Amino acid sequence: MPPSTEHETDLAIIGAGPCGLFAIFEAGMLDMRCHVFDVLDDAGGQCTALYPEKPIYDIPGHPHIDAVELIAKLQEQAAPFDPVYHFGAQITELEKMPEGGWRVRNGAGVEITARAVIIAAGAGAFGPNRPPMDGIEAFEGGGGVQYMVSRKEDLRNKSVVIAGGGDSAVDWALSLADIASQVYVVHRRPKFRAAPESVRQMDALVEAGKIELVVPYQLNSLEGEAGQMTAVNVATLDGDIRRIEADNLLAFFGLAMDLGPVANWGLDLERNHIVVDPATCQTSVEGIYAIGDIANYPGKLKLILTGFAEGASAAHAARDYIRPDQAYHFEYSTSRGVPGD
142-169 pLDDT, tens digit each = 899 998 887 889 999 999 999 999 988 9
pTM over 0.75: no
pLDDT at res. 187:
97
Residues of the chain where predicted confidence (pLDDT) is lower than 50: 1-3
**Rounded Cα distance, 15 and 33, in Å:** 16
**Rounded Cα distance, 37 and 97, in Å:** 19
User: Contact 205/188 with Cβ under 8 angstroms?
Assistant: no
6-126+256-336: CATH architecture: 3-Layer(bba) Sandwich (3.50)
**Rounded Cα distance, 289 and 227, in Å:** 45
Extents of the domains making up the chain: 6-126+256-336, 130-253
Classify domain 130-253 at the CATH topology level: FAD/NAD(P)-binding domain (3.50.50)
Sheet with strand 241-245: strands edge to edge: 218-225, 228-235, 241-245
CATH topology agreement for domains 6-126+256-336 and 130-253: yes
Do you find a cis peptide bond into 132, omega within 30 degrees of 0? no
- Maximum Cα–Cα distance across the chain: 73
Among 30, 70, 74, smallest CA distance to 338 is for 30
**Is 278 exposed, middle or buried (CB count within 10 Å of its CB: 0-12, 13-18, 19+)?**
middle
